[in-house]
Homo-oligomer: A and B are copies of this chain.
Amino acid sequence: MTVVATAPEGLYEDLDVFRARAIRWVEANLEPLGSADPSVGHATDDTDQVVRAKAIQRKLWDAGFAGLCYPVEYGGQGLPADYQNAFIEITRGYELPMLFNTPTFTIILPTILDFGTEEQKQRFIRAALRGEELWVQFLSEPSGGSDLAGALTRADRDGDVFLLNGSKIWSTYAWRSDYALCVCRTDWDVPKHRGLSVLIVKVHQPGITITQIKHVDGTEEFCQEFFDDVPIPVEDVLGQVNDGWNVASRLLLHERAAVSGSSPYAMRPRTTRHESDQIGALLLSGADDRQARQLIGEARVLTRVHSALVGRIGTSIRTSRLPAEAGSIPRLSNGMLRVRLATIAIEIAGTRAVAWQEGDPAGNLGVAYLGRQGVCLGGGTTEIARNIISERVLGMPREPADDRARPFREVRTNASVPRNRA
């Protein structure tokens, strides 16, 4: 479904009236962020963050500010995009339930809107907007993160359920989510793209084991899930059985829209907090040194250019100047930007990045550098982004792949080659 960009006269509450109403409510009901990280708010820990997010989202729901661009019949406000943009302006500097932003509001619900049955839309969109259910995506698998269509996780029909077996990985904070969209294989006798289905999976239930993955920086945001004969009611298939690639592709499109800042469902444009933090850290040090100024200047230049790009690509996709796949351009840009910022940070921090006194923020810069490539891996690698840009935006020939035509059963899922020593 598409969202109206600007309001035809009279059809909706007047934008200024809306704005006035929103300002009054926000000032009275939301907490100022102060110096808190917008993506975390005033939460004291991971669990508290869930509690706060759900509570704040419920407040928004009660006040009629939840899901501004979602259809009224599913609990939304059915307003055009410029009301959402106005609300983003108004809530800047206030704590929002950002936990719902991605993937729940910007990726999952839009996909449910696109493919869900009437029952599914009634059931899940409303509950999420009411702040009751957080979602997570079960996409990548240990066998290969990038090749979504190569999923080995299987769902075998057994009476009126599918039995789910296999494993997913790199899901973010799965343990604190309520539901998941899971891409799995329901037919092994057709080519890889034609035997997939997308299931709606209750995260906390018998047969699902979640383990957290320790990141080089010590955090444990990412998870791996193991499925052991998990029964999924057939009515919890999203879209048609074996049409899962179609659904999953839409999922990825919505994800790119979110990344490229063109999603009408985003509560707030992707925060550039990280960047400003970095730069802040840089400014700790020698703006009196011409060489350090070059690095600080470069960081500022790249950051500002990136945000200009995000805006331009968002507009270009909305106006169809570029195809939706162009969302991979800001994705690539974001990866390159963060990598360079992380490097500039340690260049300026000097020895403090590798040996620091307890409490010295410079130490975080060193630790961040260790996980530098994360931003080029998560949510589709930068290599995949370059493939998409050259093939889908510039229209260049696709990479040859020998696993597209044959029944997936016959595809070598490990295509390692012997190393011919020269």
A residues near B (Cβ < 8 Å) are 289-291, 294, 323, 325, 391-395, 397, 400, 417, 419-422
Contacts and interface: CB of A to CB of B under 8 A. Distances in A.
15 contacts: A289-B290, A290-B290, A290-B291, A291-B294, A294-B294, A323-B422, A391-B422, A392-B422, A393-B422, A394-B422, A395-B419, A395-B421, A395-B422, A397-B417, A400-B400
A294 B419 CA distance: 41
Given A323-B422, A395-B419, 6 more contacts: A290-B290, A291-B291, A294-B294, A391-B422, A397-B417, A400-B400
Contact of A422 (B294, B325, B400, B417): B325
A306 to B, nearest CB: 23
A316 to B, nearest CB: 13
A114 to B, nearest CB: 21
Contacts of A400: 400
A249 to B, nearest CB: 14
Contacts of A289: 290
Contacts of A395: 419-422
A421 B323 CA distance: 10
A157 to B, nearest CB: 37
Query: What does DSSP make chain A's interface, helix, strand, loop or mixed?
Result: loop
A397 B392 CA distance: 26
Nearest to A391: B422
A161 to B, nearest CB: 40
A356 to B, nearest CB: 25
A213 to B, nearest CB: 30
Among A294, A394, A400, A422, find the residue whose CB has the most chain B CB atoms closer than 10 A: A422
Contacts of A420: 395
Contacts of A397: 417
A19 to B, nearest CB: 38
Contacts of A421: 395
Nearest 3 interchain pairs by C-beta: A395-B420, A323-B422, A395-B422
Contacts of A417: 397
Nearest to A398: B420
A417 to B, nearest CB: 6
A197 to B, nearest CB: 27
A190 B418 CA distance: 30
A395 B294 CA distance: 41
Among A323, A393, A397, A420, find the residue whose CB has the most chain B CB atoms closer than 10 A: A420
Contacts of A291: 290-291, 294
A397 B394 CA distance: 27
Nearest to A421: B395
A403 to B, nearest CB: 15
Nearest to A388: B422
Contacts of A419: 395
A180 B300 CA distance: 56
Contacts of A394: 422
A18 to B, nearest CB: 37
Among A291, A323, A392, find the residue whose CB has the most chain B CB atoms closer than 10 A: A291
A323 B420 CA distance: 13
